[in-house]
Amino acid sequence: MPEQADILVVGGGPAGLHAAFYAAWRGLRVLLLEARPELGGQAQALYPDKAVYDVPGLPRQNASALIGALVAQLAGLPVEVRTGTVARTLRPAGKGWQVEAEDGRLFSAGSVILAAGLGALRPREARVPGAEAHPDVRTELPEPASLAGRPVLVVGGVPQATRAALELAQAGARVTLTHRRAGFRGRLSELEALDQAQQRGQLQVLAPATLDRLSAEGAALTVDGAAHQVPAETVLLLGGYLPDLGPVLDWPLDWDGEYVPDGPGGQTALPGVFVAGDVARSGGDFKLISVAFAQAAVAANHAVHHVRPDLKVRPGHSSEKRL
Ligand SMILES: Cc1cc2nc3c(=O)[nH]c(=O)nc-3n(C[C@H](O)[C@H](O)[C@H](O)COP(=O)(O)OP(=O)(O)OC[C@H]3O[C@@H](n4cnc5c(N)ncnc54)[C@H](O)[C@@H]3O)c2cc1C
């Protein structure tokens, strides 16, 4: 049986999160599908450590904190989130639509808002010699407590690698963090915590280093010209993310390259299917969070009216509502 909602949002970046907020704020049940294990789109995957200066009303906001605030805004609203879920097939179903995920799960709703941004953010493939011989190579951080007590090798200089090393060490894993360059990315507080954890001997950092080979027992690295053997029951290869629009490109939306043409209200060629954010043609090359927010608000309210014609398109002012 498909999971059902009034409105299905595909994509958990700024556009999808704000669309989910607006539709749920209007009282409709929302299901939000996100390919990654965490919400936040490009901001959380690609630049969580960076400051953003051009979101209205927020002179300087850390990208990850901005996503945290968008997620906090969903609290108490009827929004169900399914992370790790890649939407693939769109079919008409009754008066609405059914979406099948890559893993075969089904979701149906009266209206769909496509907020896929540049595409599903997939872990960048890292080709490490011997990786096939190692029993536990991963590209996303699992629940840190599940690796407590185990030797874990974290490979990468992206913010996710820094955060993974810290969270795993805190959970009691025996962590080695390595990267081909000397520096790591992350929020200042995380980089300070990394230094402190290293000084206290809570984790080991080997960088710059070359990861020569993985084997069933662990990894062979070269550091300063010297060979190192690092035991690793789990290896986390965190090399960043690449967007993949492939899963939704065969939705019959008259695609214009990487864009879906949209009319007033974010309406696409399919009745009840709306679009918002970077993937919407109307934004042109203005791939900006502020533009995504505006498109999401408009698309969500049109989707609400599509599903519930008794509700007006215009939402009224939130400041007039008594909560
Ligand atoms: C390095 C960098 C810095 C930036 N700095 C700024 C800045 O300072 N200010 C600014 O305004 N903008 C900035 N941007 C642009 C901004 O991040 C985007 O405009 C914004 O993220 C668009 O939001 P979105 O929700 O449309 O798409 P995205 O953020 O791309 O989110 C889309 C989400 O949908 C998911 N998804 C896609 N396909 C599927 C599928 N089939 N099934 C399930 N989930 C799917 C993806 O995994 C992703 O999480 C920056 C971008 C980059 C790369």
DSSP codes, 112-130 = EEE--TTSEEEEPP---TT
Averaged over 257-264, what is the pLDDT? Answer: 96
Look at residue 37 in the predicted model and tell me its pLDDT: 95
Residue ID of nearest Cα to ligand 1 atom 15:
288
Look at residue 125 in the predicted model and tell me its pLDDT: 86
Look at residue 155 in the predicted model and tell me its pLDDT: 98
Give which of 245, 264, 273, 304 is closest to 112, Cα–Cα: 273
Burial class (CB in 10 A: 0-12, 13-18, 19+), 167: middle
Look at residue 127 in the predicted model and tell me its pLDDT: 87
Extract the runs of DSSP E, i.e. beta strands, from 202-308.
203-206, 209-214, 218-223, 226-231, 234-237, 241-244, 273-275
Nearest 5 degrees, angle CA 118-CA 15-CA 117? Answer: 5
Contact 162, 175 (CB under 8 A): no
Note the pLDDT tens digit of each residue in 30-63.
Answer: 999 999 999 999 999 999 999 999 999 999 999 9
Averaged over 313-320, what is the pLDDT? Answer: 92
pLDDT beyond 70 at 313:
yes
Distance 42 CA to ligand 1 centre (A): 4
Q: Which of 17, 36, 42, 58 to mutate for ligand 1's pocket (most ligand atoms within 8 Å of CB)?
A: 42
* Beta-bridge partner residues of 10: 33, 114
Look at residue 6 in the predicted model and tell me its pLDDT: 98
pTM for the complete prediction? 0.95
Distance 11 CA to ligand 1 centre (A): 9
Averaged over 176-192, what is the pLDDT? Answer: 96
CB of 250 shorter than 6 A to ligand 1? no
Residue ID of nearest Cα to ligand 1 atom 3:
47
Structure tokens at 24: 């749920």
Note the pLDDT tens digit of each residue in 70-83.
Answer: 999 999 999 999 99
Look at residue 321 in the predicted model and tell me its pLDDT: 84
Distance 118 CA to ligand 1 centre (A): 6
CA 98/CA 205 separation, integer angstroms: 47
Largest CA distance in the chain: 72
Residue with tokens 């690698």: 161
Look at residue 323 in the predicted model and tell me its pLDDT: 64
Name the percent of the chain lying above pLDDT 90: 96
Distance 75 CA to ligand 1 centre (A): 22
Q: How far apart are the first and last CA of the chain?
A: 35
**Which residue type occupies 52?**
V
- Chain mean pLDDT for the chain: 96
Look at residue 126 in the predicted model and tell me its pLDDT: 83
Distance 120 CA to ligand 1 centre (A): 10
CA 189/CA 225 separation, integer angstroms: 31
CB of 266 shorter than 6 A to ligand 1? no
Look at residue 244 in the predicted model and tell me its pLDDT: 98
CB of 155 shorter than 6 A to ligand 1? no
CA 297/CA 198 separation, integer angstroms: 45
**H or E stretch at 298:** helix 289-307
Note the pLDDT tens digit of each residue in 273-291.
Answer: 999 999 999 998 899 999 9
Q: Determine the 3-state secondary structure of 136 from DSSP.
A: coil
pLDDT beyond 80 at 297:
yes
* Beta-bridge partner residues of 153: 176, 235
pLDDT beyond 90 at 21:
yes
Note the pLDDT tens digit of each residue in 160-176.
Answer: 999 999 999 999 999 99
Kindly provide the b/e burial profile for residues 186-202, where b requires at least 16 CB atoms within 10 angstroms of the residue's own CB.
Answer: bbeebbebbeebeeeeb
CB of 66 shorter than 6 A to ligand 1? no
Distance 35 CA to ligand 1 centre (A): 12
Per the annotation, binding residues for FAD are: 34, 42, 47, 87, 121, 278, 319
